[in-house]
Amino acid sequence: MNLDEIELGFDKEAARAEAARCLQCTCHAVADCDLRRLSIRYGAGTTEFKGRGEFPIYENPSILQLDRKRCIRCHTCVRVCNEFEMNYVYEVDEDDYPKPRNGGVYRESGCVSCGSCIDACPTGALVNVQFKEAREWEITRFTTTCSFCGTGCNFDLNVKDGQVVGVTTIPEAPVNRNALCVKGRYHTDMIQSPNRLTTPLIKRNGEFEAASWDEALDFAATKFMEIKQRDGSEALAALSSARCTNEENWLMQKFMRVVMGTNNIDHCART
């Protein structure tokens, strides 16, 4: 959804007056701003917009930020949250500006951190906090599939200086379009986490030690066979994952039933 697809909540002249400020704006969304594009298209002019005073900034720390001095009162965030996500996070104040319910506190407003309001916002009023230090021209995008569950949502990994800084949605994505859950949208920080395992570990004398993949797989296979020979196949079980593909889950059940000789297999997404 963008400004071409919604009915603005004020007349055209007022819209042009407010749009003029975008030509001096240096916010995160300056290179990808519907308001800036429409300002140029309709000749809004370059008169500096002085604003209506100071506005508080509402934040969901590390997730999103609402800076209402960049808001044009189109209420697109309200509509997306109410009509599409049905979370009813936003309310409109006496000056016709949106803010989070329950005193302007996102964590008390019912927000589930899906980020749909960010995608819908045509200006830099609502931004993903992860992108605040990156500009459009500094980013290279790589389309991929989210690995957090088996739904198969697509998004673009946004890379700056060799580091993933966040994700952006793809309107043409066949499964999810512009929708993402909180894990898919915000948990790419784990890619560069210093706690991420980058090599197999084997515990020796009570301490984990790095090992090669061949060594780790041989170790696991030996332990499986020892348990099977000592205690029988029913002493073994497997729990598969929604983060795997259907093919990988099929191989897991085949391995347990044919190789290990047991039907003790379950899945984290089973209801």
CA 136 to CA 129: how far, in whole Å?
Answer: 14
Q: Which domains does the chain have, with CATH numbers?
A: 3-131 (3.30.70.20), 136-192 (2.20.25.90), 197-223 (no CATH), 232-271 (no CATH)
CA 263 to CA 12: how far, in whole Å?
Answer: 67
CA 231 to CA 239: how far, in whole Å?
Answer: 19
Nearest Cα residue to 220 out of 248, 240, 201, 239: 201
Burial level of 35, CB count in 10 A (0-12/13-18/19+)? Answer: buried
Nearest Cα residue to 212 out of 196, 200, 197, 223: 200
- What Å distances lie between residue 74 and 159, 188, 194, 227, CA to CA? 31, 30, 41, 64
Arithmetic mean of pLDDT over the chain: 83
pLDDT above 90: residue 14 = no
Range picked from 4-8, 161-165, 214-218 for highest mean pLDDT: 214-218
Nearest Cα residue to 116 out of 54, 56, 179, 168: 179
Nearest Cα residue to 150 out of 248, 81, 230, 64: 248
Looking at the DSSP assignment, which residues form a beta bridge with residue 142?
157
Give the DSSP H or E segment for 159. strand 154-160
Give the DSSP H or E segment for 214. helix 213-231
CA 14 to CA 145: how far, in whole Å?
Answer: 42
DSSP 8-state symbol, 144: E
From first CA to last CA, the distance across the chain in angstroms is 35
Of the pLDDT bands very low, low, confident and very high (cuts 50, 70, 90), residue 47 is low
pLDDT tens track for 201-220: 999 999 999 999 999 999 99
Provide φ and ψ at 172, rounded to 5°: -90, 0
pLDDT above 90: residue 76 = yes
> What is the per-residue pLDDT for 27?
62
> What is the per-residue pLDDT for 12?
47
Residue 96 DSSP SS3: coil
pLDDT tens track for 53-67: 677 889 988 889 999
Amino acid identity for residue 120 in this structure: A
pLDDT above 70: residue 243 = yes
Of the pLDDT bands very low, low, confident and very high (cuts 50, 70, 90), residue 167 is very high
Nearest Cα residue to 236 out of 249, 223, 251: 223
Give the DSSP H or E segment for 247. helix 246-254
Structure-model confidence comparison of residues 264 and 139, the more confident one? 264
Cα 96 versus chain centre, distance: 28
pLDDT above 60: residue 97 = yes
Range of lowest pLDDT (15-19, 137-141, 185-189, 215-219): 15-19
> What is the per-residue pLDDT for 82?
94
